[in-house]
Amino acid sequence: MGPESPATARLVSLQARGLTKVYRTGDVRVHALRGVDLDLYARELLVLVGHSGSGKSTLLNILGGLDAPSSGSVLFDGRDLTDADDKQLTGYRRDHVGFVFQFYNLIPSLTAAENVGLVTEISRHPMHPHAALELVGLEERMDHFPAQLSGGEQQRVAIARAIAKQPDILLCDEPTGALDSETGILVLEAIEKVNRELGTTTAVITHNTVIGSMADRVLVMADGAISETHENADRRAPGELSW
Amino acid sequence: MKALDRKVLRDLWHVRGQALAIALVIASGVAVLVMSLSTRNALIRTKDAYYERYAFAHVFARCKRAPGHLISRIAAIDGVQVVQTRVKGLATLDIAGFDEPVLGQFVSIPENGDPALNRLVLRRGRWIRASQPDEVVLDEPFAEAHGFVPGDELVAVLNGNRRTLSVVGIALSPEFVFSMGPGALMPDARRFGVLWMGSEALAAAFDQEGAFNDVSLQLTWGASSAEVIERLDRILEPYGGVGAVARREQGSNWFLMNEIDQLSTMSMILPSIFLIVSAFLTNMVLARLVETERTQIGLMKAFGYGTRTVAAHYTKLVLVIAGLGILLGWAIGTWAGRMNTGTYAQTFRFPILFYRPDAASFAISALMTLSAALLGTWAVVRRAALLAPAQAMVPPSPPLYRKSLLARTRLGQWLDQPTRILVRHIAREPWRALMTAGGVACSVALLVMALQWYDAIDYLVERYFFDSQRQHVTIGLAEPQASSVVADFRHLPGVMAVEPMRIVGADLHFGTVTHRGSVTGVPSNAQLMPIFDEASMAVYEPLEGGLILGSRLAEKLGAEIGDAVWVEILEGRRSEAMLPIVALIETSIALPAYLHIRALDRLLRERPGVEYVNLLVDPHEEANLYRRLKDLPAVSSVLLRRAAIRSFDESVAKNMLIFVSLFCAFSCALGFGVAYNAARVALSERGRELATLRVLGFHRSEVSYILLGEVGLLILLSLPTGCLLGRALTILMASAFDTELFRIPLGIEPSTYGLAVCIAVVATLLSAGIVRRRVDRLPLIEVLKTRE
């Protein structure tokens, strides 16, 4: 549980205004985002739910500096990411953002500890890889290669890797999408723990509405826009969820 | 077009860069094969037709002066079909506007028409007339070099008499396809020419009326040349015969056959390297393609396509790549063959040497390439064809890595994660890494092999023309002269030092081996043309008690220091003696046997004599000296060291440049093909990993390091290996090119290794640069949204 309710603190980590994204494939123009305004508050756990094609991944990619919007702005630490070049965006990802993906994306040739080390070696104030793995409950599996780990374990390594640099923002794209519910809950517990203990601002994308109840705030996306916003008075522990 | 065939084309388009790189490697191999084989066949075809049509003789003999009536005895030898006797002689020529002395080889021809053997191809002008004893026919290269045309005149000192000769015709002869003056290393048409003159006129000029000093024989089908030579030698012995030789040993033909042998060797060794590497590359690219198409293969099988169809599908892909390489190779090979033949046509003078693309070389190269490609990819095609549909539809299990031994060492602990990734990747596919490194090493090796020719030539020139020869001019005397002649030469203008030398033809026997060569008599304390050992770079003093042999001659005889060699002099009184070998010296050119000049005189049972005189000349007086030499009756040949070096450099440099440039291009194609494919396959396999790293905040350069660092590390390992391999390849090629005249010396300069390494590095960097651009354009989002 965060020390303050986000509603009262309202310290903004990341601010997006009027984001639109139009993809052109051949003659077809796809409006993935149609003017999204969003504030990501410090220390909050935000869940973005929506069906596939609703634009939530596009939004996350833009927030994470992986993609550029067609129009609009993203402000981080007073700077507009939409003006940044590739080098600056890389620096932003390197120093401030942690990513967790649906398919883990671990480096198969590195052990769990080394996968985490990959990130700590290039960041400014990292935690020790062992500490990060301990945080996700994998201290026993540190020397295992990805091929020797279960899907849930691999995803927890991915979380450890994402938070080891102590990022300002943790972005998770369908972190449980490839997992069964039991394993998925273990992964969500890890995310929740990181948010709670380290105070990392966290955004989780999911099409699974149940997951929304572990958040401080839930945004529902549809057709490239935020259609609904509600705040949970009480965050439910992931262990209480089921789907 | 069937859907599957369309897929072949689309797959090919997908891997077009790699397919093209492989095709280039294949094309290089095919081109070398087509070039060397078709040039070789063109030479053989032309030579055979030329020899046949112009009745090139089978046996050649020389003597001092044999009476004409011997012809019937020679003709009576079993196996002899046609006998042709001639008068031959050397004379200096005086050519207006050309200061240096020129040596002419005079050969008699019947006044009334074609000789029975060694017929001429009259290229311009007409045949000589019996009534005009001063008419000559010139050989074409010589005429071209001096711009002579029928109607021109030139002056010759024939046996002491200055004669003005008129050129009536220009001709070529099968006897002088490769025409080189005595003592030269390369043809030099400006300083050596062949002149055909009427038999009677030439006999009169050389005191050979009613006699001859040269015999050519044509043998009946199946006759043994060795037996004929033995009997001919016996007949000519009393008349100063110096030992007959078979066509194989005839000067011009020997050089031609040597070149043909070298082309055969080249066509066997070099293309194999390219084809083996291309087989590996095709394997690597196809294996990756099959891996990415597992699901498609599963689908094809689920739809009911059989194992054979799948196998045929991927085989077609290989065949198209190989086919592309073959076609490209044929085109390059034909072009290079034409260039090569053009170069040969300058060195070897045939009436026509036209390049015809050789069907056999096309067929052989295609067959070899297809076999190599199919053999190289057989395992991959088989694996693809045998994939069970269900198994093919699920993604392959993630690769299992292990901590290497390196990881447990201190160095391993110290490595950063990106380096660890690349090291583990190499360790996980050791064979592929080995073949990649091996491929680049081959490219370096070929470069070293090609570039070292310059070192070899430099070495030869340095040792032969500078270390072991210090004279400016070597003068050949028409007849052996008394030693006092040395003093006469001392008084000629500009002469600063004179040294006598004697060279007599001899057979050297040891055990069952016989070498027909010569013994060179050298005076004590020789300064101008001493006995020089290339190994120790030291000068040996000639000994009266025994022979100093070139080590290659000793090798040929199977003799060592201390062994006694039976020496049979082929001139004069034909004396024989048993002489011990007292020392061995290293030489790259020729197979010399040295004896003290006094001991040689004693062996010949003659008063001290001289056949060659070496001179050291004041450069300012050269012109005066040449003028005097042209008029000296005793002088039969004048060899200028400087001119010999220049002609050697010129003809070698021209041939080398084409050869070396071609091989550099082919080697670069090889290095580029290997590095490019290694990097592209690595990129395909690890695009996802690299995209992940980019997302995690790695810069483009850091990500490129992981991908290209792996290839770079392999290339780094391959460079020293390539240098060693290049040395081995050079030894192999040198031993295949080894002849009695030359041994390719093995002195590869450090700079040659350096240059080879630089060229290879540039070729591979180019491929890395192309792949690097792809790394920069990695689509981050797409990669992450999909399951591998």
**Which ipTM value was assigned to this complex?**
0.85
- Whether the CB-CB separation of B570 and B506 falls below 8 Å is answered with yes
Taking contacts as CB-CB distances below 8 angstroms, the residues of chain B near A110 are 401, 417, 420-421, 424
Using the 3D structure, point to which of B343, B374, B396 is the last residue of a domain.
Answer: B396
Residues of A with CB under 8 A from a CB of B: 57, 61, 64, 66-67, 86-87, 90-95, 97, 99, 101-103, 105, 107-111, 114-115, 117-119, 121-123, 143, 145-148, 161, 165, 173, 178
According to DSSP, the β-strands at B609-617 and B593-596 are unpaired
CA gap B319, B325 in Å, rounded = 10
Residue B218 is predicted with a pLDDT of 96
CA gap B662, B655 in Å, rounded = 11
CB atoms A118 and B697 under 8 Å: no
Using the 3D structure, point to which of B189, B213, B246 is the last residue of a domain.
Answer: B246
Interface with A, mutate which of B406, B696, B700, B707 (most A CBs under 10 A) = B696
Range of the domain at B14: 1-55+247-396
Burial B257-296 (b: 16+ CB within 10 A, else e): bbbbebbbbbbebbbebbbbbbbbbbbbbbbbbbeebbee
pLDDT digits 0-9 by tens, A39-93: 999 999 999 999 988 999 999 999 999 889 999 999 998 889 998 998 899 999 9
Residue among A66, A108, A114 minimizing CB distance to B398: A108
- Whether the CB-CB separation of B18 and B676 falls below 8 Å is answered with yes
Residue B220 is predicted with a pLDDT of 95
CB atoms B697 and A122 under 8 Å: yes
Using the 3D structure, point to which of B583, B617, B651 is the last residue of a domain.
Answer: B617
Range of the domain at A203: 43-68+97-240
Residue A6 is predicted with a pLDDT of 45
| Measured CA angle at B645 (ends B644, B646), to 5 deg | 90
Assess whether B578 and B540 both reside in one domain.
Answer: yes
Residue A2 is predicted with a pLDDT of 39
The amino acid that residue B342 corresponds to is G
Assess whether B175 and B310 both reside in one domain.
Answer: no
We report the CATH number of the domain holding residue B561 as 2.40.40
Element holding B176 (H helix, E strand): none
CB atoms A147 and B397 under 8 Å: yes
| Measured CA angle at B27 (ends B26, B32), to 5 deg | 105
Average pLDDT over residues B353-367: 87
Instruction: Supply B163's token pair.
Output: 């004669």
pLDDT digits 0-9 by tens, B316-351: 999 999 999 999 999 999 998 888 888 888 888 998
CB atoms B689 and A91 under 8 Å: no
Residue B282 reports pLDDT greater than 70: yes
Assess whether B113 and B212 both reside in one domain.
Answer: yes
Taking contacts as CB-CB distances below 8 angstroms, the residues of chain A near B785 are 57, 102
- Domain for residue A33, yes or no? no
- Whether the CB-CB separation of A92 and B699 falls below 8 Å is answered with no
- Domain for residue B344, yes or no? yes
- Domain for residue A79, yes or no? no
3-state class (DSSP) for residue B632:
coil
Which residue pairs from B362-367 have beta carbons closer than 8 angstroms and sit at least 24 positions apart in sequence?
B362/B34, B362/B330, B364/B33, B364/B37, B365/B29, B365/B30, B365/B33, B365/B34, B365/B37, B365/B271, B365/B326, B365/B329, B365/B330, B365/B333, B366/B30, B366/B326
CB atoms B698 and A90 under 8 Å: yes
Sign of CA dihedral B415, B418, B421, B423: negative
- Phi/psi at B750 (nearest 5 deg)? -55, -35
CB atoms A161 and B398 under 8 Å: no
The CA-based diameter of chain A, rounded to the nearest angstrom, is: 53
Taking contacts as CB-CB distances below 8 angstroms, the residues of chain A near B696 are 93-94, 99, 118-119, 161
* Paired strand residues for B95: B98
Closest residue in B to A91 (Cα–Cα): B697
- Domain for residue B629, yes or no? no
Assess whether B273 and B337 both reside in one domain.
Answer: yes
CA gap B5, B8 in Å, rounded = 5
How many domains, in total, are found in chain A? Answer: 1
Nearest to A153 by CA among A163, A139, A167, A165: A139
Assess whether B274 and B291 both reside in one domain.
Answer: yes
Assess whether B303 and B273 both reside in one domain.
Answer: yes
- Domain for residue B143, yes or no? yes
CA gap B328, B33 in Å, rounded = 13
Residue B6 CB neighbour total at 10 angstroms: 10
Residue among B397, B417, B780 minimizing CB distance to A66: B780
Length of chain B in terms of residues written? 788
B 765-784 residues inside an 8 A Cβ radius of A: 780-781, 784
- CA of B431: how far to CAs of A109, A203, B271, B284, B427, in Å? 17, 45, 22, 11, 9
CA gap B523, B540 in Å, rounded = 11
Residue A152 reports pLDDT greater than 80: yes
**Does residue B419 belong to the interface with chain A, where contact is any CB pair within 8 Å?**
no
- Domain for residue A148, yes or no? yes
CA gap B662, B667 in Å, rounded = 9
Assess whether B521 and B386 both reside in one domain.
Answer: no
pLDDT band at B755 (very low <50, low <70, confident <90, very high): very high
3-state class (DSSP) for residue B164:
strand
CB proximity list for B101: less than 8 A, separation 6 or greater: B92, B93, B94, B191, B626, B629, B630, B638, B640
pLDDT digits 0-9 by tens, B680-697: 888 888 888 888 899 888
Assess whether B47 and B65 both reside in one domain.
Answer: no
The four Cα atoms B680, B683, B685, B689 give a dihedral, to 10 degrees, of: 180
CB atoms A101 and B784 under 8 Å: yes
Assess whether B150 and B35 both reside in one domain.
Answer: no
Supply the Cα-derived Rg of chain B in whole angstroms.
33
Taking contacts as CB-CB distances below 8 angstroms, the residues of chain A near B773 are none
Assess whether B102 and B224 both reside in one domain.
Answer: yes
Assess whether B147 and B193 both reside in one domain.
Answer: yes
* Paired strand residues for B641: none
Site of tokens 């292990």 = B402
CB atoms B787 and A103 under 8 Å: yes
Residue B102 is predicted with a pLDDT of 87
- Domain for residue A12, yes or no? no
Q: How far apart are the first and last CA of chain B?
A: 31
- Domain for residue B503, yes or no? yes
Residue B477 is predicted with a pLDDT of 85
B 384-403 residues inside an 8 A Cβ radius of A: 397-403
Distance from CA of B704 to the nearest CA of A (A): 14
CB atoms B785 and A102 under 8 Å: yes
- Whether the CB-CB separation of A40 and A68 falls below 8 Å is answered with no
- Domain for residue A131, yes or no? yes
Residue among A86, A107, A143 minimizing CB distance to B692: A107
pLDDT band at B369 (very low <50, low <70, confident <90, very high): very high
**Does residue B306 belong to the interface with chain A, where contact is any CB pair within 8 Å?**
no
pLDDT band at B406 (very low <50, low <70, confident <90, very high): low
CB atoms A99 and B695 under 8 Å: yes
CB atoms A110 and B424 under 8 Å: yes
According to DSSP, the β-strands at B161-172 and B135-139 are parallel
B 700-729 residues inside an 8 A Cβ radius of A: 700, 702
Distance from CA of A213 to the nearest CA of B (A): 25
Q: What is the DSSP string of B389-426?
A: HHHHHSPPPPPP----HHHHSHHHHHS-HHHHHHHHHH
Element holding B129 (H helix, E strand): none
We report the CATH number of the domain holding residue A127 as 3.40.50.300
In chain A, what percentage of residues exceed pLDDT 90? 62
Residue B788 reports pLDDT greater than 80: no
- Domain for residue A201, yes or no? yes
Residue among B399, B417, B424 minimizing CB distance to A121: B417
pLDDT band at B787 (very low <50, low <70, confident <90, very high): low
- Domain for residue B405, yes or no? no
- Domain for residue A223, yes or no? yes
- Domain for residue B545, yes or no? yes
DSSP state of A148: G
pLDDT band at A4 (very low <50, low <70, confident <90, very high): very low
Closest residue in A to B413 (Cα–Cα): A114
CB atoms A107 and B425 under 8 Å: no
**Alpha-helix runs per DSSP H in A84-135:** 86-96, 112-120, 129-135
- Whether the CB-CB separation of B454 and B656 falls below 8 Å is answered with yes
**Does residue B413 belong to the interface with chain A, where contact is any CB pair within 8 Å?**
no
How many domains, in total, are found in chain B? Answer: 3
Residue among A94, A105, A123 minimizing CB distance to B692: A105
- Phi/psi at B376 (nearest 5 deg)? -65, -30
Average pLDDT over residues B186-211: 91
Residue A1 reports pLDDT greater than 70: no
- Phi/psi at A236 (nearest 5 deg)? -85, 145
Assess whether B319 and B277 both reside in one domain.
Answer: yes
Site of tokens 């508050």 = A41
- Domain for residue B732, yes or no? no
